Amino acid sequence: MTIQVGISACVFGERVRFDGGHKQNRFVVDELSKHFTFKPVCPEVGIGMTVPRPVIRLLQLAEGDERLVESKNQSIDYTDKMKAFADKQIRQSDNMCGYIVCAKSPTCGMERVKLHIPNNNTVPGGTTGIYTRELMEKMPWLPIEEDGRLCDPVLRENFVFRVFALHDFYQSVRNNLSVNAFVKFHSRYKLILMAHSPAAYKTLGQMVANIKEWDIDDFWFEYRQQFMDALKERASRKNKTNVLMHLQGYFKRSLTKDQKHELATLIHSYREGNQPLLAPLALIKHYLREYPDPYLQIQMFIDPYPEELKLRYGL
Residue 309 has pLDDT above 90, yes or no: yes
Quick one: average pLDDT of 89-104? 96
Residue 10 has pLDDT above 90, yes or no: yes
SS3 280: helix
Residue 1 has pLDDT above 70, yes or no: no
What pTM was estimated for this model as a whole? Answer: 0.95
C-beta pairs of 37-40 under 8 Å, 24+ apart in sequence:
37/2, 37/3, 37/4, 37/5, 38/5, 38/6, 38/7, 38/12, 39/4, 39/5, 39/6, 39/7, 39/96, 40/7, 40/8, 40/9, 40/12, 40/14
Per-residue pLDDT at 64: 82
Quick one: average pLDDT of 184-205? 98
Cα 21 from chain centroid (whole Å): 27
Of the candidates 273, 299, 272, 274, the one whose C-alpha atom is nearest the C-alpha of residue 285 is: 299
Residues 6+ apart with CB under 8 A from 299: 188, 190, 191, 192
When pLDDT is cut at 50, 70 and 90, the band that residue 315 belongs to is confident
217-276 confidence digits (pLDDT tens): 999 999 999 999 999 999 999 999 999 999 999 999 999 999 999 999 999 999 999 999
CB of 113 closer than 8 Å to CB of 104: yes
Distance between CA atoms of residues 189 and 201, nearest Å: 9
Per-residue pLDDT at 238: 97
CB of 8 closer than 8 Å to CB of 101: yes
CB of 75 closer than 8 Å to CB of 67: no
When pLDDT is cut at 50, 70 and 90, the band that residue 313 belongs to is confident
Residue 199 has pLDDT above 70, yes or no: yes
Domain assignments of the chain as residue spans, ordered by start:
3-150, 152-315
Residue 12 has pLDDT above 90, yes or no: yes
